[in-house]
Amino acid sequence: MSAIGIHDIHAATAHHVLDLDLLAAHRDVDPAKYRLGLGQDRMSVPAPDEDAVTMGASAAAALLRRTGTDGIRALLFATESGVDQSKAAGVYAHRLLGLPPQVRTAELKQACYGGTAALQTAIGLVARNPDDRVLVIASDVARYALDSPGEPTQGAGAVAMLVSADPALVEIEPVSGLSTADVDDFWRPNDRDVPVVDGRLSVDAYLDALTSAWDDFRARGGADVSRIDRFVHHQPYTKMARKAHARLAEHTGAGIGADLIEDGLADNRQIGNSYTASLYLGLCSLLRRDDSLAGKRIGLFSYGSGSVSEFFTGVVRPGYADAMRAAGGMDLDARAPLDLDAYRALHASSGARSDDAETPRVTTAPFRFAGVRGRARVYEATA
Ligand code: HMG
């Protein structure tokens, strides 16, 4: 069987940004707690006419301009900030992207692990029919209660990936280490807009899941730690990925330094958590910043609270650096800054709703959420 993996990747984020120093001042917290303690500088905040669908479709539209849509037989949309309990977010994206009807479209959910569930499902579909290509979209708005411990780790972002045989960027290797454990560390009941979080437990559950998935990875013949050249760990905030890397070093007894994760953290510091997209924003950040990766192996650790986790590896293909350069990336400085009052007002008004209402026109992204008409969500192109 030929190699299967990520043929192209594109990331997008939300319209607004909040500097965490403003939040620290409001909460009477030392700004170093956020910058050093959590490893976060700023966070993306969606405009009123943005959500997981608009960000995901915006990321995918940029990708499809390069790849075209030929051979795409499935659109798998991973999110835990879905906009409907029944209709898949991917169905809205399918129309916005102008995909043909002959596409299998579905939504996948398991907290932040959903993006990896979609990627591995896509690989399985391509293995079955190697001429098929699968569009994977991971997109989320990470929103916590105002004034809660999770508030400074909020964020928003999306990653689109085209999965195919003979991929141009990263071949995903077949061995995976898996770990599922029923833990109440973070969940969002149906009647709540924000999650219920046991922050301390979530950190421990994440680290336990990492060693458990790693042990399974090794037991199944996965590469020895010394044969992994870079690591990208799920990043609810970048300090968590540092903790993960230190735990893996301790667990394996290997001298894997923090330099092996650095390039994968850079974008997340500016964006915040993006749940399902977070690991793949990290991968994108690494592939864009390090042009010495051809033939190198990347270890990827995916964690979704609740919990499901997976450790797997990808080998970077020759020519990836030119492809990433040609594709270009997000301009994080183009986001519109919010002051604290505007941020809090936006947060307070951004809960779920299904009554008819028009949405103010704010975002400059390719797609927007226009509002609810006849109790149905309406999405449209901005241009
Ligand atoms: P907290 O109350 O900010 O915790 O909550 P803290 O007081 O322990 O401070 C955090 C760090 O800042 C500590 O460092 C402090 O020492 C340091 P650490 O001990 O961790 O190395 N600190 C300072 N550093 C420099 N200068 C200072 C200073 N003051 C303190 N002046 C917590 C932290 C993570 C619990 C909170 O942000 C939270 O609840 N976040 C949401 C949950 C979360 O992100 N959990 C992570 C693992 S679960 C996961 O990744 C899944 C998830 O993505 C969801 C999904 O799967 O869908 C969240």
pLDDT of 240 above 70? yes
Q: What element of type H or E holds 238?
A: helix 238-252
Which residues make beta-bridge pairs with 156? Answer: 141
Q: Which residues contact 170 (CB under 8 A, 6 or more apart)?
A: 5, 6, 283, 287, 298, 314, 315, 316, 317, 320
Q: What is the CA radius of gyration of the chain?
A: 19
pLDDT of 379 above 90? yes
C-beta of 153 in contact with ligand 1 (< 6 A): yes
CATH number for the domain running over 4-170+326-381: 3.40.47.10
Q: How far apart are CA 26 and CA 153, in angstroms?
A: 15
Burial label for 331, CB within 10 Å (0-12, 13-18, 19+), is exposed
Residue nearest to atom 1 of ligand 1 (CA): 149
80 an active-site residue? yes
Burial label for 33, CB within 10 Å (0-12, 13-18, 19+), is middle
Query: Annotated catalytic residue: which of 16, 94, 112, 151?
Result: 112
pLDDT of 194 above 90? yes
Establish how many alpha carbons lie within 13 A of residue 109's alpha carbon, considering only the half-sphere containing its beta carbon: 16
Q: How far apart are CA 342 and CA 338, in angstroms?
A: 6
Residues of 227-257 as b/e, b for ≥16 C-beta within 10 angstroms? Answer: ebbbbbbbbbbbbbbbbbbebbbeebeeebe
Question: Are 300 and 123 contacting, i.e. CB atoms less than 8 angstroms apart?
Answer: no
C-beta of 36 in contact with ligand 1 (< 6 A): yes
pLDDT of 1 above 70? no
What are φ and ψ of residue 356, in 5° steps?
-60, 130
> CATH number of the domain at 174-317, out of 3.40.50.2300, 3.30.360.10, 1.20.1090.10, 3.40.47.10?
3.40.47.10
Q: Ligand 1 centroid vs 38 CA: distance in angstroms?
A: 6
For residue range 173-184, list pLDDT tens digits in order: 999 999 999 999
pLDDT of 368 above 90? yes
Q: What 3-state class would DSSP assign to 340?
A: helix
Residue nearest to atom 3 of ligand 1 (CA): 149
Q: Ligand 1 centroid vs 138 CA: distance in angstroms?
A: 24
Question: Are 78 and 117 contacting, i.e. CB atoms less than 8 angstroms apart?
Answer: yes
Asked if the domains at 4-170+326-381 and 174-317 fall in one CATH topology, the answer is: yes
Residue nearest to atom 41 of ligand 1 (CA): 150
112 an active-site residue? yes
Q: Which residues contact 374 (CB under 8 A, 6 or more apart)?
A: 356
Domain ranges of the chain: 4-170+326-381, 174-317
Q: How far apart are CA 166 and CA 271, in angstroms?
A: 31
Whole-number percent of the chain with pLDDT over 70:
100
For residue range 267-316, list pLDDT tens digits in order: 999 999 999 999 999 999 999 999 999 999 999 999 999 999 999 999 99
pLDDT of 338 above 80? yes
234 an active-site residue? yes
For residue range 2-40, list pLDDT tens digits in order: 899 999 999 999 999 999 999 999 999 999 999 999 999
DSSP output for 119-178: HHHHHHHHHHSTT-EEEEEEEEEE---TTSTTGGG-EEEEEEEEEEES-SSEEEEEEEEE
Return left, alpha or beta for 98; rule: phi > 0 is left, psi -120 to 50 is alpha, else beta: left
For residue range 107-151, list pLDDT tens digits in order: 999 999 999 999 999 999 999 999 999 999 999 999 999 999 999
The packing angle between helices 278-289 and 114-128, to 10°, is: 70
For residue range 39-89, list pLDDT tens digits in order: 999 999 999 999 999 999 999 999 999 999 999 999 999 999 999 999 999
Q: Ligand 1 centroid vs 35 CA: distance in angstroms?
A: 11
